[in-house]
A and B are shown apart, each in its own frame.
Chain A
Amino acid sequence: MNKNEDYRTTALIQASLRKRYARERRFRLYGMLAVLAGFVFLFLLLADIIIKGTPAFTQHYIKVTVDFDRESLELPQDFTSEDLARADYGAVIKLSLREMFPDVSIRAEKRRLYRLISIGAEYSLRDMVVADPALVGKKRNIWLLAHSEASSYLKGQVTAATEEAERKVKDVQMRWLNTLREEGRTELRFNTTFFLAGDSREPELAGIKAALVGSLYTLLVTFCLAFPIGVMAAIYLEEFAPKNRLTDVIEININNLAAVPSIVFGLLGLAVFINFFELPRSAPLVGGIVLALMTLPTIIITSRAAIQAVPPSIHEAALGVGASKLQTILHHVLPVAMPGILTGSIIGMAQALGETAPLLMIGMVAFIMEVPAGVTDPATVLPVQIFLWADSPERGFTEKTSAAIMVLMAFLIMMNAAAVYLRRRFERK
């Protein structure tokens, strides 16, 4: 082996090394890119929803000079409060709008004009007059809720750039709205309706309160069932279960249940609880039971891990001073394991809160305007409300859907943060 050859080998090795290092860097880069892709997806998802949903938290109002004329309200001379409740407030609003734009005379145009104001404005006027009958016969400047289409123009979501035929807000309406805006007759306010109202066919009147309360009831039922049953099952399996066929079957079952598609649980709920036991349809009771069965495996598995993590010394010390097995567990093991059990339960509840498919099966897709008063009332839950709104053709519902998603995600993040906090505290011990 002469010097020359030696040199050549070194060169070869160096060349191949360069290649190998390049490959190494590339591989590392792919890994980075994969992680980055995950971040990008998450960012896109959240950004899309936040951008779409933020406008829903505000609502436009239009200042209209309303003339509470007795005759146009169609009130008799000596009206009672009942008459007031029945009076034609729609007509008053229409009249006021016509007075503001006197040059509108064609029927179709008039109808477009009326569409600037929400149908809900009639009811707010009614409530106003019923509360203060002295208003009749007077003229007032009143801020009325704008129609969602008008609002979407004022928010800049619809512009004149799109073809007129392809948008619901027509050119004339845009002109009127521009005039109103220049006169300072439009105002953007925080959308309280969204949090205080139930579902509605009109996007500007729709709110999430009924769905939120429905979710609350459903989760309540889920928690009341899944938590005690899950913890007790975990205690049994971890502390009492003999090693035999039956407990093997139970363990395998729990693992399998955790991976059963959620919609199958919906089929179970439909066939067993609604058809067989004849529990009420669309009710948080059935929804809660189904979700409890679904989250049970999560709670059992995490609770078992938490019980396992309790140091055996605690166990042995309690047994050593003469406590019975059950006393040992109830008085010593469980309190130590509790933070871990709660962590698992919160995660299970968060899963249940976001679940939709099984609830569709048991009829929680109804159109619910009223806030449910109990666990057997017809109700819907937040994810199902999102599903229903996402299906609505009106443009105004898109932002409502995204806003509802933001509320749902806020709850989920809060629950997960609570779980993380508990876990941290638990780890420190």
Chain B
Amino acid sequence: MQTITAFLVLIAFCVVSFFLGRTRSQLIAKTRGGASLHSLPKHYGYMAAAWAFLPSVAILLVWTGLESSLIYSSVISGLTPEVRALSTDQLGLYYNQLQSFALDQIDEAGLDEAQVAAAQHYREISASLAYKKIIVVLVAAVAGALLALRRIKPTLRARNHVENMLEWMLFICSFIAVLTTLGIVLSVLFEAVRFFQAVPVIDFLFGLQWSPQMAIRSDQVGASGSFGFIPLLVGTLLISIVALFIAVPVGLMSAIYLSEYASRRFRAVTKPVLEVLAGVPTVVYGFFAALTVAPFIRRLGESMGLSVASESALAAGLVMGIMIIPFVMSLSDDIINAVPDSLREASLGMGATMSETIRRVVLPAALPGIVGGILLAASRAIGETMIVVMAAGLSAKLTINPLEAVTTITVQIVTLLVGDQEFDSPKTLAAFALGLVLFFVTLLLNIVALYVVRRYREQYE
């Protein structure tokens, strides 16, 4: 809360320094006998505001980041040695209790006296830190603004100064994409490494059994905690292949029809309607798969005398296929449209029919691009989560029968991380190892696909 207050005060102060800077520049110009300013008065105002804002907001952010650990170390150092000798987990729990007591003043019953005293200490120290924070931030803001105001001279190139700062901000914004990727790789890698300290990489990559429930006691039966990744991989691929079996023919044929046969008006209406399929939230597909398609397939299978699991790979794959139809369609459509008309005209001029032209000339010419598009669709199918979470099941069976229930990488990530979370059990960390694999597999597919698509495009341009 204090952070927000400090921030609002800071913004108000920036507005004030903007007006101060503007007025001061005008005054100086006037007192110097109407000397002309290098920049517009508002630029001097912007400069003063930026000088007030940037350093102080940096201080505010750093302070807020450090605050909780400062309070923590101060409170912990005030505790008795016995308490400090507790294990990290117990100490954390102890600290959390007193912290929630200090913040909300509830459930005193479960606390001992030392905790109540420490909570008092906590309250005092956080209040004084909050107070100091506002003071320090304001002092920085005032100092920055004063410095800027002092520098104002008619010859000062305030506009260039402000524009330089803005340009840097623009650069930082575009750099956030890199930071995000870096964040993903580092966070996933960091936890995955901790996982691989407990479970050997070889066991993970080539193990044939996946049952992540850890045994609580060493003599426990049934919950061995084996982390073999192969069943998940097979399950993921099985569902993705079923999905591609639906999406590729339908998507490709629709793209061919729309780009080669359909009238302009038909295309203008049809394409956006089919693209609605891409905009439907995946959780809706999951619901559709779990409550409509899966029971339907099961009944259908039973009437034909087949045994179908109530959560079958077929149901999940089918619905996922529907989801990626528009994806395959628009990618293939782009690529078919990129094939130059001269090729078509040559073929048609030789007396080939439209379908012969498409099959013998257009498709072979577009093939690498289409393959790239299918790879992109496959990467999307592998990374898709909600449909499989709701319709694919949890049993990590090693099977290639689409009528059985399988589980996928994304399903396991969700089941491992939703609910209880201790960040030192291999069970939780395994989710990050799976995330790492998922990230790299889809990244690889995407890079290959983008490379293929782009390279092919350039051949005709």
- Chain B residues with Cβ below 8 Å from A233 are 170, 173-174, 176-177
Contacts A233-B174, A268-B187, A387-B283; is A259 near B376 (CB within 8 Å)?
yes
Contact (Cβ within 8 A) A240 B167: yes
- Over the window 279-300 of chain B, the binary record of Cβ atoms lying under 8 Å from chain A Cβ atoms (1 yes, 0 no) is 1111111111011100000000
Residues of B within 8 A of A365 (CB): 418
- The B contact surface, by secondary structure, is helix
- Contact A240–B170 (Cβ < 8 Å): yes
A263 touches B167 (CB 8 A): no
Output the least CB separation between B424 and chain A (Å): 12
Report B-chain residues with C-beta under 8 Å of the C-beta of A28: 257, 261, 354-355
User: Known: A20-B353, A261-B438, A326-B167. Is A49-B187 also a contact (CB below 8 A)?
Assistant: no
Contact yes or no, A37 B181, CB < 8 A: no
Q: A28-B257, A31-B261, A390-B287 are in contact. Are A261 and B410 (CB under 8 A)?
A: yes
Cβ of B78 under 8 Å from chain A: no
How far is B178's CA from A293's CA once the two chains are assembled, in angstroms?
11
B450 at the interface (CB under 8 A from A): yes
A32 to B267, CA, bound (A): 12
- Among A297, A326, A387, which residue has its beta carbon within 8 angstroms of that of B166? A326
Q: State A383–B376 Cα separation when bound (angstroms).
A: 25
Max chain A Cβ within 10 angstroms of own Cβ: one of B187, B329, B380, B442: B187
B290 in complex: contacting residue of A249, A297, A390, CB < 8 Å? A390
User: What is the bound-complex CA distance between A412 and B275, given in angstroms?
Assistant: 13
Report whether B414 and A263 are in contact in the complex, using a CB–CB cutoff of 8 Å: yes
A266 to chain B, nearest CB (A): 8
- Tell whether A355 pairs with B417 under 8 Å between CB atoms, given A31-B257, A38-B250, A236-B171: no
Complex: chain B residue closest to A347, CB-CB? B279
Task: Confirm or deny: A21 has a beta carbon within 8 angstroms of a beta carbon on chain B.
Answer: yes
| A412 (CB) vs chain B CBs: closest residue | B279
Counting CB contacts under 8 A, is B75 at the interface? no
Q: In the complex, which range does the number of interface residues on chain B fall in?
A: 35 or more
Is there an interface contact between B288 and A24, defined as CB atoms closer than 8 Å?
no
Q: Are A361 and B170 closer than 8 Å at their CB atoms?
A: no
Name the one of A23, A271, A387 contacting B355, with C-beta atoms under 8 angstroms: A23
A232-257 residues at the B interface, CB under 8 angstroms: 232-237, 240-241, 247, 249-250, 253-257
Residues of B with C-beta under 8 A to A398: 291
Q: A32-B257, A240-B170, A357-B282 are in contact. Are A263 and B180 (CB under 8 A)?
A: no
User: How close is A428's CB to chain B, nearest CB, in angstroms?
Assistant: 16
Q: How far is the CA of A258 from the CA of B438 in the complex (A)?
A: 15
B183 neighbours in A (Cβ, 8 Å): 268, 272
Q: Which residues of A contact B438 (CB under 8 A)?
A: 261, 263-264
Find out whether the CB atom of B173 lies under 8 angstroms from the CB atom of A232: yes
**With the chains together, A266 CA to B272 CA distance in Å?**
30
Residue of B nearest to A268 (CB): B184
Interface positions, chain A 140-158, Cβ under 8 Å from B, are: none
Write the residues of chain B forming the contact surface with A, with a CB cutoff of 8 angstroms. 65, 68, 159-160, 163, 166-167, 169-171, 173-178, 180-181, 183-184, 187-188, 190-191, 249-254, 256-258, 260-262, 270, 272-274, 276-277, 279-288, 290-292, 322, 325-326, 329, 353-356, 358-359, 376, 379-380, 382-386, 389-390, 410, 413-414, 417-418, 423, 431-432, 435, 438-439, 442-443, 446-447, 450
Q: A23-B356, A48-B292, A260-B439 are in contact. List 13 more A-B contacts (CB 8 A).
A: A28-B261, A30-B253, A31-B260, A35-B270, A240-B167, A240-B170, A250-B177, A268-B188, A296-B180, A356-B386, A361-B417, A365-B418, A387-B390
> Would you mind naming 19 contact pairs between A and B with Cβ atoms under 8 Å apart?
A24-B353, A27-B354, A30-B253, A31-B260, A35-B257, A38-B274, A49-B288, A230-B173, A256-B181, A256-B446, A257-B181, A259-B442, A260-B443, A261-B385, A261-B442, A271-B187, A356-B385, A357-B385, A386-B283
